[in-house]
């Protein structure tokens, strides 16, 4: 059995730093992080839970939405077709991030169960609301969750 902190060390991301970088980069950093760390996650968890080019497509959809929004604003003060397409692309990128988060949640729970023999409980509401940030938090918190599991399991064995 491997060390539970190996995945945490591989991605090497503190949640506070992640959120702050997301704010100062205007939301670009999570896509960069996903592009850099998706291969590490799938390789380490031995689970190809999304396609390798998923982060690239997310960046394309998001970037194209931003581009069309800027063009729409430059062309007219009224709502144009470009603005509507930009909104659809923005919604699509949001859905893509949420889908990624739920697939990552499932893969992370399966990884914890198979490698460390404990059920990693992850809140679906938090997964939906905080998506990538919550996944990073859960990866960083796996050691304490395993310790809680071991304490509870030990108490059940004694009692």
Per residue in 105-156, pLDDT tens? 999 999 999 999 999 999 999 999 999 999 999 999 999 999 999 888 886 5
pLDDT for position 152: 87
pLDDT for position 155: 60
Q: What is the pLDDT of residues 33-71, one digit of tens each?
A: 999 999 999 999 999 999 999 999 999 999 999 999 999
Gap between the Cα atoms of 5 and 153, Å rounded: 21
Environment class of 131 (CB within 10 Å of its CB; exposed 0-12, middle 13-18, buried 19+)? buried
């Amino acid at each position: 059995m491997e060390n539970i902190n190996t995945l945490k060390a591989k991605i090497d991301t503190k949640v506070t730093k992640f959120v702050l970088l997301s704010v100062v980069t205007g939301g670009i950093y999570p896509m960069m992080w996903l592009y850099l760390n998706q291969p590490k996650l799938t390789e380490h968890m031995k689970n190809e839970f999304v396609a390798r080019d998923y982060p690239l497509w997310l960046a394309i959809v998001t970037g194209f939405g931003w581009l069309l929004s800027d063009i729409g604003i430059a062309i007219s003060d009224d709502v144009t077709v470009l603005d509507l397409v930009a909104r659809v692309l923005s919604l699509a990128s949001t859905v893509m991030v949420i889908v990624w988060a739920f697939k990552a949640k499932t893969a992370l729970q399966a990884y914890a169960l198979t490698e460390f023999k404990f059920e990693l409980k992850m809140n679906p509401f938090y997964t939906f609301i905080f998506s990538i940030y919550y996944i990073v938090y859960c990866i960083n918190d796996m050691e304490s969750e395993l310790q809680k599991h071991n304490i509870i399991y030990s108490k059940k064995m004694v009692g």
